[in-house]
Structure 1
Amino acid sequence: MAEAMRQTVATMLKGIERYNPDNLPTLERYVETQSRENAYDLEANLAVLKLYQFDPQTYNVEITSQILLKALTNFPHTDFVLCKCLLNEKRLMESPIDHIMYLADVLERCDFETFWNRVHSMPELCSRIVGFHDSIRKFVCHVVGITFQTVEKSVLAQLLGGVD
């Protein structure tokens, strides 16, 4: 279903139609589809956040959370920063957005133990994002691969969030 929606959304995002407020419900459904089906479309997600900027009454914290968490799964790319820049300071301080900001901060600092402890302490935050843990583990593996020459199995398991 994500691939079919991707085509529809790609058409919507061309030209001036990108910021048509009538497209917002479809774009929000697409965000939820991305979360369920482990898909990712940065351009569509940025369009949603931009529409929220244009019309703050339409702001949906749940959709915004999903967008930010999906952007986190694309570390080390700058997607998260792009999304964050489309939110005002008040939104960044609201729960659960503030928790996601914290996760991004510790992940960017490569404080993986703190990251996993926080993720495990609030499973409801990330549970809607299919593939979240595996995507983060891929980033951790990337960092470990360029940082360590050798690493003990137990240390690697801890860095990967307690994987056996």
Structure 2
Amino acid sequence: MVAFDKCETRPAHIDAILNGLDRYNPETTTVFQDYVAQQCEDRTFDCYANLALLKLYQFNPHLLQADTVTNVLAKALTVFPSPAFSLCLALLPAYTQPFPTTTDAQTASQASDFVESVQKLSGLSTLLESAQYTQFWSTLNSDDLYADLIADVAGFEELVRIRIAVEVGKAFRSVSAETLEAWLDVRSRDALEKFVADVCGWKVEGGVVRVPTNKENEARSEVKSERVGVDMFGRVIRRGFELPV
């Protein structure tokens, strides 16, 4: 899987901005905003470009576009468990954070819709990071606002399902089909079998999903040996024979 901070599809003009002084030019915010929209459409993710945009917003708060910020955060959810979401969240105004100060809370009241959106996405990130996948899907489906927040991100559910499957494949050799249906929010056994076969290369046998052995889920013993020579303790032994002054 490609690292979250690599983007092989980054356009040349975006690369030029990121490697030059224009990355600090407020006029480039429109370029980055268009690039975020492009990422949402073609299912790519460019962490460094998105962080550069959020840094520009940090320097120029009057340029901040709430819809673009929520799109950046929603895209970051699709590459969990990477630190992308946390990095993006850290560049947002203090009043959007889950635990604002009194002053921040007063500021937040003036932009309550934006703050609510950021905190709802932050809650989804927490559920994914803590592997509460069933709760993630039930929360996502519980409020129309969540649907609005991910509406611009093409294939959001599919991308998240793939990430969940990757994490499951790292931790399990087998898992009940019923459990995996809940984790992936797949509605039927046929749909589950098709997903695990086409996307993951796994098999469903008698109500159990079999995950092939890989370097992450393989059970293996690890033997560690340490070589400790007397010379390593020379100073300790010498101090033992020294007379106190």
The two structures have a TM-score, normalised by structure 1, of 0.91
Report the equivalent of 1:162.
186
| Contact 2:127-2:133 at 8 Å conserved across structures | yes
User: Does the CA-based 8 Å contact 1:113-1:158 persist in structure 2?
Assistant: yes
- Judge conservation of contact 2:76–2:85 (CA < 8 Å) in 1: yes
Equivalence map 1:49-128=2 (5 Å) = 49-92=54-97, 94-121=115-142, 122-128=146-152
Counterpart of 2:83, as a letter, is T
Q: Return the letter of the residue paired with 1:130.
A: A
Identity %: 31
Q: CA deviation at 1:4?
A: 8.4
- Distance change in 2, residues 1:141/1:4 (3 Å): closer
Unaligned runs of 5+ in 1: none
Cα distance in 2 for partners of 1:4, 1:147 equals: 30
Task: Name the CA distance, whole Å, in 2 between partners of 1:65 and 1:18.
Answer: 21
**Equivalence for 2:169:** 145
CA deviation after TM superposition for structure 1 residue 143, in Å: 1.9
Partner of 2:158: 134
Q: Which runs of 5+ in 2 are unaligned?
A: 1-7, 99-114, 189-245
**RMSD between aligned residues:** 1.7
Contact preservation (8 Å) 2:36, 2:72: yes
Matched-pair contact (CA < 8 Å) for 1:5–1:30: no
| 1:45 to 2:50 alignment | yes
Please say if residues 28 and 48 of structure 1, whose CA atoms lie closer than 8 Å, have aligned partners that are also in contact: yes
Whether the 8 Å CA contact 1:119–1:126 is kept in 2: the answer is no
Give the Å deviation of 1:89.
Answer: 2.2
TM-score normalised over the length of structure 2: 0.62
What secondary structure does 1:151 align onto? Answer: strand
